[in-house]
Each structure stands twice: as C-alpha cells, then as structure tokens.
Amino acid sequence: MSETNDIARLRGVGVKLGRSEVLRGLELGLAPGELCVLLGRNGAGKTTLMRVLAGTLRAESGSVRVCGADPSRSAAARAAIGFVPSLPDLPPWMSLTTAARFARRCYPTWDDRRLWRAADALAVPRRGRISKLSRGQAAGVQLALALAARPRLLLLDEPFAGLDAVARDGLLSAFLTEVDLEDTATLVSTHDLDIAARIADRALLMDGGALREQAVGDAQLEHSAAALRALLTQTTPGPDGAAA
C-alpha cells in the first residue's frame, strides 16, 4: 500500500498537554479500506491521537494530513472526517433529525438515505433529544450521523465504553453492516480486546506516546484477544488522566 494513497498521514507528531508529552514523534498512515484498532493502556494517548486526527487538537510538531490538508485548519479536511466520541457531545437539545438538519448543511457528501438506513439498523429514535437517550442510543445517533456524511476517515473513540453487552453487540453489528470499508479508512480505539480481535485489520498499539504496530505484524491478519492482551501487557501505563 503506497503512502501517497493514505487518507490520513501523521509524521513525527508531538503533542504536549500541560507539561506531559502525550504524543512523541508519532508516525501513522491510514489507507482506504483499512479498519485499524487503536489499543493502549489508560493515558497512553489514544484520545489525544483521535483529537489530533479529528482536528480539534493542533499538533505542536510534525505534520498532520487528512485528505491532504491539516484538519485543525482546513474545514474541507474536517468535512471528510466522521467521528464518534466515547460520550455523546452533540448539543443536548439535538435529536437525530435536528442534528441531521445541521450536518446536512455542513457536509457536502451528506447522504440522507444513508442516514435513515443506518438509523434503522441501529434502531435509534429519530426525534428523541440526545440528552434523553440511553448511552447506547446516543452512541447510535452519533454513529449514524458519522456514517451519513460518507467520511473518508472514520474515527471511533472508544464508542463501546460503558455500554451493556446487548447494546454493545447491537452497535457493533450495525456498525459492521453499515460501514463502507472500501474507500474509508477507519480507526477504532477501544479497551475491549474482544472487539479489537473481531474487527481489526491492523492493531495499533500506543505505548509511550508512539505507535507500536510492528509487533503485531502485517503477516498476521487476524488476532485473538489473548494475543492482543499479551501485547498490551508489554506496554507501559501512561500517566493517569493525561489523555483525558
């Protein structure tokens, strides 16, 4: 896979939050059709990496490119990104319908049919305010919104955290059914090794502010949860709360 085709490309990215250096010389390329899982201990910098990719956090050093532009500066680059946060962060008064009305005007690639299909698959209410929905439904709403924008880069930041087993499986199933893997690069950060093992084309391991994916190796295309757990135990825990 040539690097020029990469949807997202991070080179030597460094980020400091306060005094702690959360990301350090981080290198990452995400190619279309890839579903990568981002693993790492608490505070390893997973969320920070997600925010850098989403453009809500500006890297202090190195370069960040999504579809050729820095997402923290380019609205066009942000328009190519779908993001599902671990906690719903839409304005609380928004429902799926009102949020879609907002997003429809902002995302040029917006697809309404895609939205309603995803909403049906995720079984989320169309009109309920996000603040009144359960965690699982709220995550579903944000996933449906992210999918409907037909993103080139889809980022899921611990979307399954805090969901009960049934909600988790429902969300995962709908995600796997609805996501377009062909043109999209997908990055899912999770602590759930079961999920990681199920869905990962590549498992990226965050350790000390950088990525260790070579340990998994491209040759091994499928992972077991046990293998991932073994990898994770080799990493050092990050400073508590640094990635918060």
Partner 1 sequence: MSLLALTHKELREQAPAFLVAAALVIVGCLVTGWLADDLFVDSATFAHTAAVCLTAIVAIAMGCDIGARERNEGTQEWLRRQPVSLGQVALVKLAVLLGALVAAAVVGSESATVASRLFASGASSLQAEPMVGLILGGTVALALWSMACSSFLPRGFLAAPGGACVFALLALPAALHEIVMGRLRPDPPIGLWLTCALIGGALAALSSMAIGSRREWATWKRAGTVALAGSIGIAPTWFEAGANLAGVTTLDLSSPNLEVRSAFLHTDGRHAFAMLRDEQWPSFPVVIDLETGETVAAGVLGDDLWPAHTTVSTRSNRFPFGVLHKQDGDSEIVGSDGEILAIDRAELSAADLEPFNTIGDGGWTLALPAGGGWRLSRAGSGARAFVAAPGATPVTEEVLAAAGWRVQYVEGWLVDGLWIFRGLVRPSANGQTITEYRSLDAEAGELLAVDWMQARDSIVCALADGKALVGDRARLSIVDVREGGRRDLDTSGRKVRWWAGTATVLQATEGEGSLSCVTAVTADGSIAALVRADGSVARWIEPPPGSAGILCLTALADGSIAVLTYRGGQVLRFGPGGDEPIATALHW
Partner 2 sequence: MIDWRVDTEAPEPPSQQLVERCLDGIARGDLAPGDKLPSVRALAGLALVNHNTVARAYRELDLIGAVRGEGGRGVFVTEAGPQIARQRRAATTWSDFERALETALRAGHSIEDLSERVRTAESKRRPA
Binding region for partner 2 (CB under 8 A): 35, 169, 172-174, 176-178, 181, 193-195, 197-201, 221-226
What are the CA-CA distances from residue 106 to residues 11, 75, 224, 242 (Å)?
Answer: 29, 10, 40, 32
Give me the 20-59 binding string for partner 1, x by CB under 8 A, dash otherwise: -------------------------------x--xxx---
CB count, 10 Å around CB of 208?
15
- Name which of 13 and 146 has its Cβ closer to partner 2: 146
The Cα–Cα gap between 115 and 66 comes to: 23
Q: Does 97 bind partner 1 (CB under 8 A)?
A: no
- Name which of 23 and 37 has its Cβ closer to partner 2: 37
Per-residue exposure over 43-53, b if at least 16 CB sit within 10 Å of its own CB, e if not: bbbbbbbbbbb
Q: Which of 8, 30, 37, 107 binds partner 1 (CB under 8 A)?
A: 107
User: What are the respective helix, strand and coil percentages of the chain, to the nearest 5?
Assistant: 35, 25, 40
- The torsion angle over the Cα atoms of residues 188, 194, 200 and 206, rounded to 10 degrees, is 60
| 222 binding partner (options partner 2, partner 1, none; Cβ < 5 to 8 Å by kind) | partner 2
Q: Does 102 bind partner 1 (CB under 8 A)?
A: yes
Under the rule (CB under 8 A), what is the footprint of partner 1? 51, 54-56, 75-76, 78-79, 81, 83, 85, 89-93, 98, 101-107
